[in-house]
Amino acid sequence: MVDIHNLTFSYWRENKRGKNKYPLFDNLSLSLKSPNIYGLLGRNGAGKTTLLKIITGQLFKNYGEISVLGADPAKRLPGMLSRIYFLPEVFYLPSLRGYEYVKIHSPFYPEFSEEAFRKNSQEFDIDPDKRLNSLSYGQKKKFLIGFGLATRCSLIVFDEPTNGLDIPSKSQFRRLVSNSVQDNQTFIISTHQVRDLEHIIDPIIILDTGKVILNESMERISAELSMTIQRDEPEETNTLYSEKTLGGYAVIKKGPSGGEAIDIEILFNTVISNREKVIEIFNKNREDKNEA
C-alpha cells in the first residue's frame, strides 16, 4: 500500500541570515499495509503533516524511494489520486450546496457510493441541501469526512480529523470509520487527540526527530509492554515510564500486558522519553522471532 525507504526531506526557512536548510526526515523508512487504521502520532513539528503530504504527492522527497498504491506519488497520476482521499486540518469548501459538491466531485472517484454518502450525512446530521459555507467548521469537516468515506478510496488520509468536532460527532466519527474500513483500504489518521481515537487506531506509528521510532500493532505492543495503575511510586528496574494520575501512578513496564489496555497517550510519552529502550525491546524481540 505505502512503502517508504530511506526518505530524506529538508525544508527551507528564512531568517535574518538568509535561507537555511532544515533537515526533517533523514533515512525514514515506513511500510503500511491494508486493511488497517494507522494512527500517526508525534510531537509538534515532528513532521506528521509533511509526511502525509509526501505520501499524497503534495510535497516531493529530496532522496529515497516512495511507492504509494504502486506509483510514485510525486507523479500525481490520476489513477493513484482517484484512490487517495486526503482531508487536511485546514481545508477549503466552495460556495455550493452539499449535493452540488458531490455532483461535481464524485465522478473523479470510480468507487464513490451515493448510498454511503447519504448514510454518512445522516449519521453526522448534515443536510446536503444546505450551502456549505453556511455550515460551522465542525459541520464542514463532517461533510468532508462523510464524502471522503463514501469515495471508498484505497488510502484515506485524515489530518487531525477530530479537531473541531463536538463530543457526539467524535463517537460518530469513530463508528463511521470502524464500519467503513474494507479489506482493500488503509486509513492514516494523524492526531494529537489520541483519546478521541484510541479504540480505532491500530497500528500506532510514532514519528520523532525525523524517524519512525515505532510502527507496531496494539497486539504486538501489548505483548512487549504492559501498563498498570498503582498507588505508590514505582521503583522497579523494568519500569520504562511512569506518570502520576488521579489516584496513583500509570506505569509502563517491559513485559506482556496482563490484559489491561495500554493508554496510547501514556504509551506515546513512554516512547518519546525512553526512545532507545523501546526501540531495543521491539527490535530484539523481532530478531528473536526471525531467528526462531
Q: Which of 26, 64, 67, 88 binds another protein (CB under 8 A)?
A: 88
The grid cell for 214 is 515505532
Q: Which of 94, 168, 255, 256 binds another protein (CB under 8 A)?
A: 94
Q: Which of 76, 131, 284, 286 binds another protein (CB under 8 A)?
A: 76
**77 sits near another protein (criterion: CB under 8 A):** yes
**99 sits near another protein (criterion: CB under 8 A):** no
Q: Which of 2, 4, 32, 81 binds another protein (CB under 8 A)?
A: 81
**119 sits near another protein (criterion: CB under 8 A):** no
The CB-of-164 to another protein minimum distance in angstroms stands at 15
Q: Which of 57, 128, 146, 210 binds another protein (CB under 8 A)?
A: 57
Q: Which of 108, 125, 136, 179 binds another protein (CB under 8 A)?
A: 108
**73 sits near another protein (criterion: CB under 8 A):** no
* Contact footprint for another protein (CB under 8 A): 11, 50, 53, 56-60, 75-79, 81-82, 84-86, 88, 90-92, 94, 96, 100, 103-105, 107-109
